[in-house]
Amino acid sequence: MKRVMLIVSYDGTNYHGWQIQPSAATIEGMLNKAICSLTGEAIQVIGASRTDAGVHALGNVAVFDTESRIPAEKFSYALNQRLPEDIVIQKSLQVFDFFHPRHCDCKKTYEYTIVNRAFPLPEYRNTAYFYYGTLDLKKMQKAAEAFLGEHDFAAFCSAGAQVQSTVRTIYSLEVVKDDIEEKIRIRVQGNGFLYNMVRILVGTLLEVGKGAILPEDVEYIIASCDRAQAGPTAPAKGLRLLQIEYPFALDNCSK
Amino acid sequence: MKRVMLIVSYDGTNYHGWQIQPSAATIEGMLNKAICSLTGEAIQVIGASRTDAGVHALGNVAVFDTESRIPAEKFSYALNQRLPEDIVIQKSLQVFDFFHPRHCDCKKTYEYTIVNRAFPLPEYRNTAYFYYGTLDLKKMQKAAEAFLGEHDFAAFCSAGAQVQSTVRTIYSLEVVKDDIEEKIRIRVQGNGFLYNMVRILVGTLLEVGKGAILPEDVEYIIASCDRAQAGPTAPAKGLRLLQIEYPFALDNCSK
């Protein structure tokens, strides 16, 4: 038996999110099917981030155990032959047997894209949120500073989430706009995110950009631990999981 | 009568290029249909750049004459209601009556995207060229310098093009790679481009990146004026017309 880790990229447009569902196409469902078809084993992957419907990924992580004699690093090639073109394995490798993608410390990086101009850009119609109103970028950048560091982010968590602690640490949060496309990119890195946390954070920064929330008030919104104080949950399609980094050598295992 | 200019963005994936064809969907065909449906006039637009099948645009330009009483700046809103979501008018404005988008001096900016990593990125499967081999970015950047300035670019023009002169000026040519996505972006600005010129230029830079052409040889390839000396034509889907700038006020007209 070996434990194989996959780095998975996908365009989430045509899927009902990561998590397997009986009668809808999901990323997890497609991966299980491709792995079963390849190995003949009834395998269910464990994902690092169970992204919502419409959310995209450059580098989500999944692991599974297999008795297959296919070398771990060859799984990427073999699975990509069996996956549709909107799901691509970027890398496969053997990891140590007790590695669990959700129960290990890690750094996650998400990116949210807002097309902020008079009309939408066709190329980004499935991968960005379009907002035509004026957004004050400087205010959004100022407000972003309040999120840095360790905080209780209970105000930035959708109801129904079952977590032991709502304390998380944000290492960096950048808000930048490019001139030609007029696209605002919000990139955030932290040691983990609560359910819908990035989308609520973005929804709050959007309210700041519109002038509905003052940048100085964001620290009080965080301190309130009250979901009702934060902005709305920004639409899923603008969100992309960029990468997950683990602080140890994953391939520290007997091959 | 007034002359209206449109700034047009599109995802070219589902179209057989700009130029109208009797039995295939094209950007020009879709625009004519939408304008006729709006004004009731049998209008045919004139495009600035007749992009090939699969090529995208952020800001191509089209003009047409109309007797319609709809204010020029309202055409964008009215036409976007009649266009599919992969074609979006970014702006409409009245221009002076003798303005012709192809017979005026202008600066055009194109961008070419290469996903250069082991496996393709699903999000860019229609808007970038995927190349998994090693590309030497420094060599490509060095080679890019040879294109700057005024040259006879006959070596970078596909056969069958009817032009009076093959002399063009390139103002800037940048080759940059980002770390996380491993996407190479080649952005080129010039006073005009010959048929397939940007794609042959990119194809040549790709050969340089692969080591098949030396950076020092590019100036001789240009000087040869021989299409056979340059690299192959890079695939259409990686190309995007970013913007066209005219050096005079376009709305210098009696409204």
Q: Can you give the residue ranges of every domain in chain A?
A: 2-103, 107-242
Interval A159-192: pLDDT, tens = 776 778 999 999 999 999 998 899 999 999 999 9
Residue B94: both structure tokens together: 């009245």
Check residue A59 and give left, alpha or beta (phi > 0: left; psi -120 to 50: alpha).
Answer: beta
Threshold 0.90, pTM exceeds? yes
Question: Given this model, what pLDDT does residue B253 score?
Answer: 43
pLDDT of B254 over the 60 cut:
no
* Chain B environment of A87 (Cβ under 8 Å): 122
Interval B219-244: pLDDT, tens = 999 999 999 999 999 999 999 999 99
In a mutational test of the A interface, the residue from B119, B121, B123, B189 whose CB has the highest number of chain A CBs within 10 Å is B123
Residue A191: both structure tokens together: 């040691």
Interval B119-139: pLDDT, tens = 999 999 999 999 999 999 999
Question: Given this model, what pLDDT does residue A51 score?
Answer: 95
Verify whether the Cβ–Cβ distance B123 to A240 is below 8 Å: yes
- Look up the ipTM and state it: 0.90
Interval B8-18: pLDDT, tens = 999 999 999 99
* Kind and range of the H or E run holding B222: helix B218-224
* Kind and range of the H or E run holding A137: helix A137-145
Interval B54-100: pLDDT, tens = 999 999 999 999 999 999 999 999 999 999 999 999 999 999 998 99
pLDDT of B211 over the 90 cut:
yes
CB nearest A123 (choices: B11, B117, B118): B11
Tell me the CATH architecture of domain A2-103. Answer: 2-Layer Sandwich (3.30)
Averaged pLDDT for residues A122-127: 96
In a mutational test of the B interface, the residue from A87, A119, A237, A240 whose CB has the highest number of chain B CBs within 10 Å is A119
Verify whether the Cβ–Cβ distance A122 to B88 is below 8 Å: yes
Residue of A nearest to B119 (CA): A90
CB nearest B9 (choices: A58, A88, A121): A121
Verify whether the Cβ–Cβ distance B122 to A89 is below 8 Å: no
If one counts every other C-beta atom within 10 angstroms of the C-beta of residue B169, the result is 14
* Chain A environment of B56 (Cβ under 8 Å): 122-123
For B18-73, give the DSSP string: SS-BTTB--HHHHHHHHHHHHH-S----EES--PPTT-EEEEEEEEEEE---S-GG
Interval A142-154: pLDDT, tens = 999 999 999 999 9
Residue B3: both structure tokens together: 């002359």
Q: CATH topology of B2-103 equal to that of B107-242?
A: yes
**Which fold, B107-242?**
Alpha-Beta Plaits (3.30.70)
Measured CA to CA, the distance from residue A123 to residue A37 in angstroms comes to: 34
Measured CA to CA, the distance from residue B179 to residue B177 in angstroms comes to: 7
Judged by DSSP in three states, B13 sits in helix
CB nearest A88 (choices: B87, B120, B127): B120
Measured CA to CA, the distance from residue A172 to residue A168 in angstroms comes to: 12
Q: Name which of A198, A209, A212 is nearest A147 in CA terms.
A: A198
Question: Given this model, what pLDDT does residue B102 score?
Answer: 87
Question: Active-site positions of A?
Answer: 52
- The share of chain B scoring above pLDDT 90, in percent, equals 89
pLDDT of A227 over the 80 cut:
yes
User: A228 CA to chain B: closest CA distance, Å?
Assistant: 34
CB nearest A120 (choices: B88, B120, B122): B88
